[in-house]
Structures are given as C-alpha cells and as structure tokens.
Amino acid sequence: MKQLNILLGDDHQLILNGLKEALLKVPAVSNVDCANNGADLLEAAKQSNYDIVFLDIHFGNADGREIASQLLKTQAHLILAALTSFDDPETIQTTVNAGFKAFFLKSDDITELVDWIEKMSFDTFYLSQQTKASYTNQALFNDAKRKAHIQLTSREKQVLTLIMAEYTTKKIAEELFLSEKTIENYRSSLMLKLEVTNLTGLVKKTLLLGLLHE
C-alpha cells in the first residue's frame, strides 16, 4: 500500500491537532504536517513532497482557492481536499473550479474522510455525503457544461485576467499595447459572452465558472 504524506492547512489549532491525531492512525498515512496560515503552508509545500493537502477555504485572512492555485502551478501532482464550514453553492462551485479533488465539511464524520483516503480514488471528484444534501452533484456539474460553451480568444483571456487583477481600462491598454477603445470593445464582448451587464457580474461569473483555471 502506498504511504501518503499529508499537509493540513487550517487557522484553528484544535482542528489541526485533532485531525492530525486521527490521520496518523490510518495505515496508509506515513506523515502529517500542519500549517496555521497560508504563508507557512506554501513554504512547507516547497520543503517536502506531499501527496495530499487538506486546505481550509476561508483560511484566516487568506482564500484557500487562491492558495490552491499557487500550489498547483508548481506541484500539479498534489491532491487538494477542501475542509471548510461553508456549504453554499458558490463556495462549492468555485472550490471545484480551483482544482480541488474533494470537498469535506468540518462537521463531517472523520470515518468518511479516512475512507476516502484509504480508497485512494483520487482521479474523480469526491463530495462528502453531508455536502450532497445541500448541493447535488448534478447542480454542481451543470455549470461545467455552461463553461464548455463559453469560447474565449487568447486576447479576451488576457483582458479578463487583467480585469480580475483590478487593472483599469487605461492600465490594461498600456499593458497590452492597445487603445483604450479596443479594450472597451473586448470588455463588452466578454460581458456579452458571459451574459452579464457590469464588471461585478463579470468577475463573479468568471470565478463561478473557473474560466481562468485551465
């Protein structure tokens, strides 16, 4: 049986201690390390070769989805599992789109989490039973179908990326060596394709569908 090296990320020490103690009793687990903030977690991930990272979505002042994006850029092999108290549809959807392989609630039974680890079926997305009660798999992946129908050009993706980074129209034009009018045209095209009417809607839809996570 493969021995797993696990990293836990949560800003509550009691959760870290309890989960670490439970996981160290699992035969498939060889080591469990902990980090109580995003910076320490990213540093730990650089120093050791982990297999699974359990990550709080609302990780203190950090967003676990953003941390996940940073981790996967350099360590695409990592299996990310969300561990959170939030089960609203938007949190679940954006977590899936951020590259996580599993979604657990902190109120889930530890036996379900252990069972997921022992089965090692990491190629498919796992949604805990309690989460399914509030948001079904079918609803979750309906948005994946919608995403497939949204075709963005490489230039539109560049503009969208800069919009998400809070660049103004003028700054985007300077960055891409285009006129402000051209940038406005790209922005209008993006809004049309995503079926939104303002920048707030554009940002929300981009996050919801994970359009920049390819």
Q: Using the 8-state DSSP alphabet, how is residue 2 labeled?
A: P
Give the containing element (helix H, strand E) for 97.
helix 89-97
Average pLDDT, the chain: 88
State residue 7's pLDDT score.
97
User: In Å, how far are 44, 86, 129, 130, 199 from 104, measured between CA atoms?
Assistant: 22, 10, 9, 8, 32
Question: What digits encode the pLDDT tens for the residues 13-50?
Answer: 999 999 999 999 999 999 999 999 999 999 999 988 99
Q: How confident is the model at residue 61 (pLDDT cuts 50, 70, 90)?
A: confident
Question: What's the CATH architecture for 150-209?
Answer: Orthogonal Bundle (1.10)
Element (H, E) at 199: helix 199-209
pLDDT tens digit string along 69-94? 899 988 999 999 999 988 877 788 88
User: So what's the pLDDT on residue 96?
Assistant: 84
Handedness of CA 142, 148, 150, 154 (dihedral sign): positive
List, by residue range, all CATH 1.10.10.10 domains of the chain: 150-209
Which residue intervals of the chain bear CATH 3.40.50.2300?
4-140
- Is the pLDDT at 125 greater than 60? The verdict is yes
Catalogue the long-range contacts made by 100-107 (C-beta closer than 8 Å, 24 or more residues apart). 100/55, 100/68, 100/125, 101/125, 101/126, 102/126, 102/127, 102/128, 103/127, 103/128, 103/131, 104/54, 104/128, 104/131, 105/130, 105/131, 106/15
Q: For residue 21, give Cα distances in angstroms to 17, 24, 26, 49, 95.
A: 6, 5, 10, 20, 26
Question: With contact defined as beta carbons under 8 Å apart, do 6 and 29 qualify?
Answer: yes
Residues pairing with 9 in the sheet: 35, 55
pLDDT band at 214 (very low <50, low <70, confident <90, very high): low
Share of the chain above pLDDT 90, in %: 57
Q: Is the pLDDT of residue 148 over 80?
A: no
pLDDT band at 205 (very low <50, low <70, confident <90, very high): confident
> What pLDDT shows up at residue 6?
97
Predicted local distance difference test score (pLDDT) of residue 194: 86
pLDDT at 138 over 60: no
| Token couple for 188 | 């209008």
Average pLDDT value for residue range 137-156: 69
Mean pLDDT of 110-125: 91
Please say if the pLDDT value at position 147 is more than 60. yes
Residue type, 161: T
CATH of domain 4-140: 3.40.50.2300
Structure tokens given for 5: 């090296």
- What is the DSSP track for 7-45? EEE-S-HHHHHHHHHHHTTSTTEEEEEEESSHHHHHHHH
